[in-house]
Amino acid sequence: MKQIFRLSLFILLCNSIQAQTITLAGNKKSAYTIVMPQNATVVEIQAAKVLQDYLYRISGVLLPTGFDSDKEKDHEILIGKVNRSHANSISYDALDRDGLLIRTAGKKLIITGGSKKGVLYGVYTFLDKYLGCRKFAADVTYVPKKDIIALPKIDDLQLPAFTFREAYYNESYDPEYMDWHKLHSFEGKGSDKSEWGYWVHTFHSLLSPEEYGTTHPEYFSYYDEARHPGLIPNWDKTGAQPESQLCLSNPDVLEIVCKNLKLAMDKKPEALYWSVSQNDNVRYCRCDQCAALDKQYAAFAPEEKMLSTHGGHKYPALGMGSLLTFVNKVAERFPDKIISTLAYQYTRVPPKGIVPRKNVNIMLCSIESSRNDPMTVGDKAFCEDLAGWAKLTNNILVWDYVIRFSNLLAPFPNLRILQSNIQFLRNNNVSALFEQGNRDRGGEFANLRTYLIARMLWNVNVDIQKETDEFLKGYYGAAASDIKEYINLLHDNNQSGRSVKMSIFGSPVDDKETFLSDSLLTRYNKIFDSAEAKVKQQPDVYVRVKSARLPVYYAMLEIAKSEKTGKRGAFVTGENNELMPNPAIVKILQEFSYHCIRTNVTRITEWHTTPKEYLEKYARFLQSGGEWK
């Protein structure tokens, strides 16, 4: 009797599973048509064609396309806002702009989404989540081959973790990569049409020293018993930048800024976000009126909370009383726009007694944070500031940093903190996230970081280890286990939890006794020897593995340059005690430079030093006996 019952139950389960399954394609045939709205939008047409293309790549079957004005069939894939009974009950308000919905209903498959690119995001999510496709990099796409494409019952509604999601890596701006991973670009790169009119450090654009510095010095910062309306050289020596900030209590400054902002808006009326934000320095105005506003709204007494500049100089975090008072007034003039301002360095600390207007966006920057520990451990001061801002507004964009700017190819073991940081930000009212990576081509694990960050910007709770393992296998092939071993060894020694700060402005020389010790570098090179040997017959993968090794070579070159002599030095002693280039370092320099040039790495450090320039300078250093110039 029990056996009969079990058999009956098994048959019922099988019938249930069969009833919940639809087969899109099998044995090179399909009964399905891809249906679009009669007046389909560009995004809906693109979504339909992407799905048609990838289903053909997967199964070898080219599904026909049609419109909802055609006679309805049983077997349809409904794309976008189609006029079909199965789709008419969908609440598009719930999907907002970027949300997506994937649903099976009877024999139909529905893929639709919010008003911006939701339906296109839905198609790429369907391909990724349900058919096993992956977009690891702009030039690395995995498409499985399937004789049968069968689907279980699906009812999948997804909303993004953040309304604005940018992984600021050169690698991310391939149009399909952006759409696949649902990314934005404040500059409008790739496939994204930017909603930003101005983006950070805009005081100079809105009221410039060139125009007003001589005639109206009172418009600019007062400190050291004088106004400072001039220009100084850029830090990268490419031009000039404002010497200071604006005097935000001066009523004329408000009028001029609003006038120039209106002119800019008229030229770009479609832009929603406009930054009215401080120049990139800490020379703010200390005139009596500005100082009074800062004091009135300060949450801390002067010097009670100190922060550091890029160069390590300490300054008091006075809050942003004068700045937020000014920005709120600007926001009142433009109620249909969102006025964004920086909470950065001296304005990072949230104020007391004043709140941002509803159409003010606070762009909070984590530039001071350590990168080998999660923010909650390594930068409690920033976490306190974020919590303070979260009590004042839910319109917060965090500008986070994930690379070592001064040494773009240096080993930078911060992968283990990325998810905890992104989760922390999402849980504290952050609505938008800009992860600043490498604006130039190349850099340490650029494609891996871009991929992982992109996945987390949509869903902060993805299985990050699974995502990492899939990427390593898909990108590095047979060498994946070696690359994973290297990553783990590097991170195991990055001084996490030991009160050692890994800065975004550091150098490999800073880490030569920890994760870049001589013994560890030897182990890293052995790992890469093994990795390269495994993929030497696969040219594309071999190049990727050699690119992953570049940071090890770069660390050795920088440490050799610093030490000059000794076991790790750039020089050896000749027969007459003269310094001669170390042959091992010369070989590494040549390997490093050529591979950078071959793979189009554009910069060694942010904004300057191309691989050719690095090779030239290092060659002169070796020839001169140790003078870097």
Would you state the pLDDT for residue 433? 98
Q: Average pLDDT for residues 209-238, to the nearest whole number?
A: 91
If we measure between CA atoms, which residue out of 626, 597, 595 comes closest to residue 613? 597
265 and 149: one domain? no
Q: How confident is the model at residue 18 (pLDDT cuts 50, 70, 90)?
A: very low
Q: Does residue 327 register a pLDDT over 90?
A: yes
Pair of tokens at residue 614:
């690095």
265 and 358: one domain? yes
β-sheet bridge partners, residue 168: 436
Q: Average pLDDT for residues 230-252, to the nearest whole number?
A: 88
Ranges assigned E (strand) in 298-408:
306-308, 314-316, 338-343, 360-365, 396-401
Q: Average pLDDT for residues 358-374, to the nearest whole number?
A: 94
Would you state the pLDDT for residue 321? 95
Pair of tokens at residue 124:
């790429």
Q: Does residue 611 register a pLDDT over 60?
A: yes
Half-sphere exposure of 111 toward its Cβ, with a 13 Å CA cutoff?
A: 27
- The rounded mean pLDDT for the chain is 93
Residue ranges in 413-538 assigned as alpha helix (H) = 418-426, 446-458, 464-476, 480-492, 518-534
Q: Average pLDDT for residues 420-446, to the nearest whole number?
A: 96
Pair of tokens at residue 209:
């020293």
Cβ atoms of residues 398 and 433 within 8 Å: yes
Distance between CA atoms of residues 23 and 600, nearest Å: 44
* CATH number of the domain enclosing 32: 3.30.379.10
Q: 535-589, pLDDT tens digit by residue?
A: 999 999 999 999 999 999 999 999 999 999 999 999 999 888 889 999 999 999 9
Pair of tokens at residue 100:
């997506």
Q: Does residue 124 register a pLDDT over 70?
A: yes
Residue 40 counted as domain residue: yes
Give the three-class secondary structure for 337.
coil
Q: How confident is the model at residue 58 (pLDDT cuts 50, 70, 90)?
A: very high
Q: Taking the CA atoms of the chain, what radius of gyration do you get in angstroms?
A: 28
Would you state the pLDDT for residue 88? 83
Distance between CA atoms of residues 594 and 249, nearest Å: 55
Residue 7 counted as domain residue: no
Q: 409-427, pLDDT tens digit by residue?
A: 999 999 999 999 999 999 9
Tokens 């953040």 belong to residue: 162
Q: How confident is the model at residue 15 (pLDDT cuts 50, 70, 90)?
A: very low
Would you state the pLDDT for residue 303? 73
Chain-centroid distance, C-alpha 32: 38
Q: 593-609, pLDDT tens digit by residue?
A: 999 999 999 999 988 89
Distance between CA atoms of residues 399 and 200, nearest Å: 11
Domain end call among 343, 365, 387: 365
Would you state the pLDDT for residue 94? 94
Q: Average pLDDT for residues 359-376, to the nearest whole number?
A: 94
**Is the sign of the CA dihedral 65, 71, 76, 82 positive or negative?**
positive
Residue 302 counted as domain residue: yes
Instruction: Determine what percent of the chain is predicted with pLDDT higher than 70.
Output: 95
Pair of tokens at residue 1:
């009797």
140 and 209: one domain? no
Total domains in the chain come to: 3
Would you state the pLDDT for residue 235? 66
122 and 208: one domain? no
Q: 272-287, pLDDT tens digit by residue?
A: 999 999 999 999 999 9
Residue 487 counted as domain residue: yes
Q: How confident is the model at residue 307 (pLDDT cuts 50, 70, 90)?
A: confident
Would you state the pLDDT for residue 5? 40
Return left, alpha or beta for 44; rule: phi > 0 is left, psi -120 to 50 is alpha, else beta.
Answer: alpha
146 and 208: one domain? no
Distance between CA atoms of residues 475 and 495, nearest Å: 28
Would you state the pLDDT for residue 10? 34
Which stretch of 61-75, 292-306, 563-577 has the lowest confidence by average pLDDT? Answer: 292-306
If we measure between CA atoms, which residue out of 558, 610, 605 comes closest to residue 235? 605
Cβ atoms of residues 354 and 392 within 8 Å: no
Structural domain harbouring 40: 19-158
Cβ atoms of residues 302 and 334 within 8 Å: no
Identify the burial level of 413 via C-beta atoms within 10 angstroms of its C-beta, where 0-12 means exposed, 13-18 middle and 19 or more buried.
buried
Q: Does residue 14 register a pLDDT over 90?
A: no
Distance between CA atoms of residues 360 and 339, nearest Å: 5
Q: Does residue 305 register a pLDDT over 80?
A: no
127 and 203: one domain? no
φ, ψ (nearest 5 deg) of residue 464:
-70, -30
135 and 252: one domain? no
Pair of tokens at residue 10:
């098994």
Cβ atoms of residues 502 and 495 within 8 Å: yes
150 and 203: one domain? no
Distance between CA atoms of residues 402 and 370, nearest Å: 10
146 and 266: one domain? no
54 and 137: one domain? yes
221 and 144: one domain? no
Residue ranges in 173-297 assigned as alpha helix (H) = 175-181, 203-206, 209-212, 251-267, 288-296
Q: Does residue 179 register a pLDDT over 70?
A: yes
- 396-401 and 360-365: which strand pairing? parallel
Cβ atoms of residues 131 and 54 within 8 Å: yes
Distance between CA atoms of residues 382 and 364, nearest Å: 9
Q: Please give the single-letter amino acid code of residue 428.
A: N
Residues 6+ apart with CB under 8 A from 22: 104, 107, 108, 109, 150, 151
φ, ψ (nearest 5 deg) of residue 471:
-65, -50
Q: How confident is the model at residue 237 (pLDDT cuts 50, 70, 90)?
A: low
Q: Does residue 7 register a pLDDT over 50?
A: no
Pair of tokens at residue 40:
């389909």
Would you state the pLDDT for residue 236? 63
Cβ atoms of residues 531 and 523 within 8 Å: no
The structure's pTM equals 0.93
φ, ψ (nearest 5 deg) of residue 501:
-90, 125
Residue 370 counted as domain residue: no
Pair of tokens at residue 128:
């990724």
Would you state the pLDDT for residue 311? 58
CA distances in angstroms from 387 to 341, 400, 426, listed in the order given: 18, 16, 11
Residue 87 counted as domain residue: yes
487 and 611: one domain? yes
Distance between CA atoms of residues 554 and 511, nearest Å: 13
Give the three-class secondary structure for 140.
strand
Q: Does residue 310 register a pLDDT over 70?
A: no
Would you state the pLDDT for residue 2? 42
Would you state the pLDDT for residue 3? 46
Pair of tokens at residue 6:
């079990």
Domain end call among 340, 365, 390: 365
Residue 473 counted as domain residue: no
Q: Average pLDDT for residues 523-534, to the nearest whole number?
A: 98
Domain end call among 99, 131, 158: 158
Would you state the pLDDT for residue 304? 76
CA distances in angstroms from 5 to 2, 10, 17, 271, listed in the order given: 5, 9, 18, 66
